[in-house]
Amino acid sequence: MSLQQIALVTCQSLGDYTTNADSEDERLYRFLAEKGHHISFLVWDDEQVDWTAFDTLIIKSPWDYFDKISAFYTWLNKVEALGCRVLNPVKVLRWNADKVYFRDMQTQGVTIVPTVWLEQGSTFDPDSVFEAIGQEKIIVKPRVSGAAKNTLAISRAEADSFTERINALLQEEPFLAQPFLEEIKTQGEWSFIFFNGRYSHAVLKKAKSGDFRVQHFFGGSVHTPTPPAGMLHTATSIVDQFAQGCLYARVDGVELNGELVLMELELIEPFLFLSTSEGALDRYYEALLELTEQPAARV
């Protein structure tokens, strides 16, 4: 790959993510700069940026996109119309932004966590939701979300006390409900990381005692055991099917009865745990080389 002008697309403030994000973003910045490329951190919704000045836009950490989803879709349309090379591709980002993508995946044979869709403007009916899911505890979260924003763990006994809050949230955006998986507390949640469709490494994220959220800023921890072969095979199949042409992909899931059950397919701005695996940056760069060998398609 000839030397490039590369934009690492980020957001104005990384907030709770600062410790992890800054270290990973800076590590990637230094690595690419040492390869001789001209690297710039740029905020995705900065109106002053001329995106056509860059050979490649790498979507790295725009971690406020779900708070500004309409503006994010508008920005995606803009860079697409400008003919910018965006990694991951714009059509993938657009599809992956709303967790309704689970429906597409399920119809094509992927095992996902059972889900009840709560449409915007609807009324939360605890009895019907708990009956549909068939568990005594559920998770309710927005369809467009990240960082456990507005994510609620609710038992059947306390559901009525949450109904007013959920109904208020449903006036703003659609939500979904899923079973609360004790396995996340007891075993943890797996993340499988791929670069241009090839497996790179995996981590097992565990919540702190008494919590269900595995994010580090909620006290979660990260471990690097060897993943079960069957779960890796499933994660690879998911990437093969749904992440074609993607510089990076992260498959998040939990092990249930020896099977990987999908929690998220992260194709927009996943933390990639680059420091947890020797050679991860080299594998990332090799994927980048492969995807930038040909000129970006102009529209």
Q: What is the pLDDT of residues 132-165, one digit of tens each?
A: 999 999 999 999 987 777 899 999 999 999 999 9
Is position 239 within any domain?
yes
CATH number, domain of 33, equals: 3.40.50.20
Is position 173 within any domain?
yes
Pair (231, 258) in one structural domain = yes
Is position 23 within any domain?
yes
CATH number, domain of 125, equals: 3.30.1490.20
Q: Within a 10 A sphere around the Cβ of 10, how many other Cβ atoms?
A: 22
CATH number, domain of 247, equals: 3.30.470.20
Give the CA distances from residue 126 to residues 47, 132, 291, in Å, rounded to whole numbers and listed in that order: 43, 10, 47
Pair (19, 53) in one structural domain = yes
Pair (204, 269) in one structural domain = yes
Percent of the chain with pLDDT over 70: 89
Is position 130 within any domain?
yes
Percent of the chain with pLDDT over 90: 78
Q: What is the pLDDT of residues 38-95, one digit of tens each?
A: 999 999 999 999 999 999 999 999 999 999 999 999 999 999 999 999 999 999 999 9
Q: What is the pLDDT of residue 214?
A: 43
Helix-then-strand count for the chain, H and E: 9, 13
Is position 174 within any domain?
yes
The type of residue at 175 is: F
Q: What is the pLDDT of residue 223?
A: 85
Pair (51, 196) in one structural domain = no
Pair (133, 201) in one structural domain = no
Pair (77, 172) in one structural domain = no
Q: In terms of residue numbers, what domain contains 217?
A: 101-111+183-273
Pair (194, 264) in one structural domain = yes
256 vs 292: CA distance, rounded Å: 38
Pair (196, 258) in one structural domain = yes
240 vs 111: CA distance, rounded Å: 15
Is the CB of residue 44 less than 8 Å from the CB of residue 75?
A: yes
Pair (19, 60) in one structural domain = yes
177 vs 262: CA distance, rounded Å: 15
Give the CA distances from residue 136 to residues 130, 200, 280, in Å, rounded to whole numbers and listed in that order: 7, 37, 40
Residue labelled with tokens 């779900």:
66
Number of domains in the chain: 3
Pair (215, 106) in one structural domain = yes
Pair (250, 126) in one structural domain = no
Average pLDDT, the chain: 89
239 vs 235: CA distance, rounded Å: 6
Give pTM, 2 decimals. 0.89
Contacts of 2 (CB under 8 A, 6+ apart): none
Rounded (5°) CA angle 269-270-275: 125
Confidence category of residue 293, pLDDT binned at 50, 70, 90: confident
Is position 278 within any domain?
no
Pair (106, 245) in one structural domain = yes
Is position 62 within any domain?
yes
Q: What is the pLDDT of residue 299?
A: 37
